[in-house]
Amino acid sequence: MRGNPSLEEKPRKQSVRQMFADLFSRVRPQWRLIIIAMIAVLFVALIEFAIPQFIQFTIDIVIPEQQLDMLGWIFAGVIGGAILLVGFQFTGSYLMAIVGQRALYELRNDLYKHMQHADVSFFDRNRTGDLMSRMTNDVNMLQQLLSSGLLNLLTDIFIFIAISTYMFYVNWQLATLILVTFPLLFYLTRYFGKRIRKAYLKVQGSLADMNNHLQDTFSGVRLVKSFAMEDYEAERFSERNETNRHANIDAAKNFSLFGPMVNFVNYIGMGAVVVFGALQTMEGNMTVGMIATFLVYLRLLQNPIRRVSRLMNTIQQAAAAYDRIMAILETRPAIQDPPSAKTLSIKHGEITFHDVTFAYEETNVLKHIDVRFQGGKTTALVGPSGSGKTTITQLLTRFYDPGEGSITIDGTPIDEVTLSSLRSQIGVVSQDVVLVNGTIRDNIAYGQANACMNEIKTAAQIAHAEGFIKELPDGYDSMVGERGVKLSGGQKQRISIARALLKDPKIILLDEATSALDTEAEKAIQAGLAQLLQDRTALVIAHRLSTIQNADHIIVLDEGRVVEQGTHEELLRFNGRYQHLHRMQYSKQGVFS
Ligand SMILES: Nc1ncnc2c1ncn2[C@@H]1O[C@H](COP(=O)(O)OP(=O)(O)OP(=O)(O)O)[C@@H](O)[C@H]1O
Ligand SMILES: [Mg+2]
């Protein structure tokens, strides 16, 4: 439902050669397997070439000369060849499957790792369904090219060379006659290839669309149901599904016509062989056995031509997939460790924004912010919705970098230290709590693999979460469900407070940390929160007056600017924005903004 199509990672057209160079470097470490596979394939071609020779021998020599005793040998030869064929074909395709799977296993891991390190804005730009389809469909496409496509190509080239050499050797006129049909085949291949590729592009596009739709509506099932939109969504899905059907049928139409057309051209060749071969045989230049062999070879030649065209298809599809994968691999995260990055060591924890201006896209969301968050103290950020409060926390954790200005902690610019040292010392309890699909314990200890059970329990106690956790059937081992669906909003919030407590960071960011709690629960965890805030630099975004009043300093934001700051009393005396918000709060007894 989100996403600006003009901004997502658009595939840039890479050359096919570049794709092969890249794939080659990925399979090179497995050169031993590849060589064995190639040898196996060479034998496949030789045997396929050799078996028809038995026919010629039988027709031209064994039958006329009545060599009955040879028949047993011929039978053994054909069957023996066929058995060898099974062995070599198996070896070739099995080994190449291993090569392809290994190479793509690494590519998929690389891709995932790369995405994990991508900027937060990367995920703002791209739709989840698209990214998933690049991880799965596109990688599979390349794997298909590597494993079966290239192997078949090799087999076909060998067979093609062997057969055409033989044909020219036996009768160059007839061979030329057959060869004349090849440009026609080539043209057909190009013509249909283009159409099939176009159709497949549409298929892939509609698949990604369907993926996105599924992703949105399954994870947003409550929204769909509460607005009774099931039928509407089913209708929209059906539209996408229909696009997919049309595209697939279009591809099938071209494919279905392509096969018979190739056959047709082949029959022309067959006609030529029969008629011209008969003439030549009558003149004594050829034998009946040769005609039979030519006919079999003609069949064998058909495979390479057909398969080469299919391969060209695969290559085109793989190239499109490769482009999409490279579009991701080539995005360099803007936010990463600077060269020779230091580890951030926090002493006082004083945070300063120096004339910070920031825009997510085009409009500035923060304008010339010049503020100081005192070390070890609690600063409250207040202001209307959309004024940029959450954005300030996102800049502090370097989810985004400011367009202008800089942010320092104890005088060190945060873009000069490692991301991990920065983020590991900042605890965030965010507006929308994110839970992973695991147990309560997994969620509290997320990122703290070494935490022992006692520490986890203590954190839960302080966050006032122990009570409800104990009532769950499996206690700390209860599963929270996907995104924590099995917990209430307030429960999720308490889990995330416990998570922050366990992390024990020097800096803590609370974004409306208590908004989902009722007054009683909020009172109960005040003590816990007080402990969380104690002796840390805390930035508290709150709508409730009680939380704000206790802060050491209050900063009032409006439309991305700092409009007032001071203590609660100072701001009330000032008779400005804060006082106005304060009055609204008392008149409504509701939230602060
Ligand atoms: N990822 C994003 N991409 C583009 N614009 C964004 C993004 N996140 C926030 N914004 C915009 O930035 C502005 C400030 O948003 P922010 O979340 O900082 O507001 P806030 O003060 O935290 O509001 P609230 O009290 O409602 O939480 C809003 O106008 C919002 O539309
Ligand atoms: Mg916010």
Structure tokens at 309: 């065209």
User: pLDDT confidence of 512, banded at 50, 70, 90?
Assistant: confident
- Count of domains forming the chain: 2
Q: Which residue, judged by its Cα, is nearest atom 4 of ligand 1?
A: 360
Atom of ligand 1 nearest to the CA of 124: 1
In whole angstroms, give the CA distance from residue 471 to residue 217.
32
In whole angstroms, give the CA distance from residue 329 to residue 122.
12
pLDDT at 234 over 80: yes
Range with the lowest mean pLDDT among 217-221, 274-278, 430-434? 430-434
Radius of gyration of the chain (CA): 35
User: pLDDT confidence of 278, banded at 50, 70, 90?
Assistant: very high
pLDDT at 387 over 70: yes
In whole angstroms, give the CA distance from residue 196 to residue 99.
28
pLDDT at 297 over 90: no
Range with the lowest mean pLDDT among 84-88, 215-219, 585-589? 585-589
- Distance from Cα 539 to the centre of ligand 1, integer Å: 17
Contacts of 197 (CB under 8 A, 6+ apart): 313, 316, 317
Residue 1: per-residue pLDDT: 33
Indicate if 324 and 392 belong to the same structural domain: no
What Cα–Cα distance (Å) separates residue 139 from each residue in 11, 83, 104, 134?
15, 35, 7, 7
Residue 337 counted as domain residue: no
Burial 487-522 (b: 16+ CB within 10 A, else e): beebbbbbbbbbbbbbbebbbbbbbbbbbbbeeebb
Per DSSP, the chain holds a count of helices (H) and strands (E) of 21, 10
Q: Specify whether the CB–CB gap between 572 and 578 falls below 8 A.
A: yes
**Residue 179 sits in which domain range?**
16-329
What mean pLDDT do residues 470-494 have?
Answer: 87
Cβ of 430 closer than 6 Å to ligand 1, yes or no, is no
Q: Is 66 helix (H, G, I), strand (E, B) or coil?
A: coil
Indicate if 219 and 293 belong to the same structural domain: yes
Residue 7: per-residue pLDDT: 44
Which among 576, 528, 571, 527 has a CA at the least distance from the CA of 549?
571
In whole angstroms, give the CA distance from residue 324 to residue 54.
50
213: CATH: 1.20.1560.10
- Distance from Cα 164 to the centre of ligand 2, integer Å: 73
Atom of ligand 1 nearest to the CA of 392: 18
Which among 197, 202, 196 has a CA at the least distance from the CA of 245?
202
In whole angstroms, give the CA distance from residue 484 to residue 494.
12
Question: Which pLDDT tens digit goes with each residue over 539-593?
Answer: 999 777 777 888 899 999 999 999 999 988 888 888 788 888 777 766 554 444 4
Residue 91 counted as domain residue: yes
Which among 350, 348, 357, 434 has a CA at the least distance from the CA of 392?
357
Q: Which residues surround ligand 2, an ion (CB under 5 A)?
A: 390, 431
Structure tokens at 44: 């496949």
Residue where a domain stops, chosen among 296, 329, 362: 329
Indicate if 293 and 239 belong to the same structural domain: yes
Residue 202: per-residue pLDDT: 82
In whole angstroms, give the CA distance from residue 113 to residue 346.
29
Q: Specify whether the CB–CB gap between 328 and 116 falls below 8 A.
A: no
Q: Directed axis angle between helix 453-462 and helix 489-503, to 10°?
A: 130
Indicate if 165 and 299 belong to the same structural domain: yes
Residue 538 counted as domain residue: no
Residue 587: per-residue pLDDT: 57
Q: Specify whether the CB–CB gap between 496 and 429 falls below 8 A.
A: yes
Indicate if 39 and 152 belong to the same structural domain: yes
* Choice between 485 and 588, residue whose per-residue pLDDT is larger: 485
Q: Mutation test of ligand 1: which of 358, 390, 540, 548 has the most ligand atoms closer than 8 Å to its C-beta?
A: 390
User: pLDDT confidence of 237, banded at 50, 70, 90?
Assistant: very high
586: CATH: 3.40.50.300
Residue 532 counted as domain residue: no
Atom of ligand 1 nearest to the CA of 384: 25
Indicate if 408 and 269 belong to the same structural domain: no
Structure tokens at 77: 């030869």
Range with the lowest mean pLDDT among 290-299, 392-401, 416-425? 290-299
Atom of ligand 1 nearest to the CA of 543: 25
Contacts of 431 (CB under 8 A, 6+ apart): 390, 511, 512, 515, 541
Ligand nearest to the CA of residue 392, numbered in listed order: 1
Structure tokens at 224: 């769909």
Q: Which residue, judged by its Cα, is nearest atom 22 of ligand 1?
A: 390
Indicate if 184 and 287 belong to the same structural domain: yes
What Cα–Cα distance (Å) separates residue 219 from each residue in 128, 489, 502, 575?
12, 17, 29, 46
Q: Mutation test of ligand 1: which of 360, 547, 593 has the most ligand atoms closer than 8 Å to its C-beta?
A: 360
Which among 113, 112, 7, 124 has a CA at the least distance from the CA of 399?
124
Residue 396: per-residue pLDDT: 95
Q: Which residue, judged by its Cα, is nearest atom 10 of ligand 1?
A: 360
Share of the chain above pLDDT 90, in %: 40
Across the chain, what does the average pLDDT equal?
87
Q: Is 209 helix (H, G, I), strand (E, B) or coil?
A: helix
In whole angstroms, give the CA distance from residue 531 to residue 131.
41
Residue 568: per-residue pLDDT: 87
Q: Specify whether the CB–CB gap between 434 and 483 falls below 8 A.
A: yes
Q: Directed axis angle between helix 172-219 and helix 230-282, to 10°?
A: 170
pLDDT at 82 over 70: yes
- For every residue of 248-303, DSSP letters joined together read HHHHHHHHHHHHHHHHHHHHHHHHHHHHHHHHHHHTTSS-HHHHHHHHHHHHHHHH
The backbone torsions φ and ψ at residue 15, rounded to the nearest 5 degrees and listed phi first, read -80, 155
Strands 507-511, 426-429: pairing kind: parallel
Element (H, E) at 493: helix 489-503
Range with the lowest mean pLDDT among 44-53, 142-151, 517-526? 517-526
Residue 559: per-residue pLDDT: 92
Q: What single-letter DSSP state applies at residue 14?
A: -
Residue 97 counted as domain residue: yes
Atom of ligand 1 nearest to the CA of 512: 27
Cβ of 389 closer than 6 Å to ligand 1, yes or no, is yes
Residue 486 counted as domain residue: no
Ligand nearest to the CA of residue 360, numbered in listed order: 1
Indicate if 317 and 189 belong to the same structural domain: yes
368: left (phi over 0), alpha (psi -120 to 50) or beta: left
Cβ of 385 closer than 6 Å to ligand 1, yes or no, is yes
In whole angstroms, give the CA distance from residue 25 to residue 34.
13
Indicate if 147 and 215 belong to the same structural domain: yes
Q: Specify whether the CB–CB gap between 318 and 19 falls below 8 A.
A: yes
User: pLDDT confidence of 519, banded at 50, 70, 90?
Assistant: low
Residue 524: per-residue pLDDT: 67
The alpha-helical segments, DSSP class H, found in 134-171 are 139-144, 150-170
In whole angstroms, give the CA distance from residue 199 to residue 323.
17
Structure tokens at 526: 């005040």
Residue 131 counted as domain residue: yes
Question: Which pLDDT tens digit goes with each residue over 337-351?
Answer: 888 889 999 989 999
Indicate if 358 and 318 belong to the same structural domain: no
User: pLDDT confidence of 167, banded at 50, 70, 90?
Assistant: confident
Residue where a domain stops, chosen among 297, 329, 361: 329
Cβ of 386 closer than 6 Å to ligand 1, yes or no, is yes
In whole angstroms, give the CA distance from residue 471 to residue 464.
13
Share of the chain above pLDDT 70, in %: 93
Indicate if 314 and 416 belong to the same structural domain: no
Burial 146-169 (b: 16+ CB within 10 A, else e): bbbbbbbbbbbebbbebbbebbee
Indicate if 279 and 377 belong to the same structural domain: no
Cβ of 124 closer than 6 Å to ligand 1, yes or no, is yes
Cβ of 360 closer than 6 Å to ligand 1, yes or no, is yes
Provide the residue count of the chain.
593
Residue where a domain stops, chosen among 277, 301, 329: 329
CA dihedral over 362, 368, 374, 377, signed as positive or negative = negative
pLDDT at 303 over 60: yes
Contacts 24+ apart (CB under 8 A), 447-455: 447/503, 448/502, 448/503, 451/502, 455/502
Residue 354 counted as domain residue: yes
Q: Mutation test of ligand 1: which of 391, 510, 543, 548 has the most ligand atoms closer than 8 Å to its C-beta?
A: 391
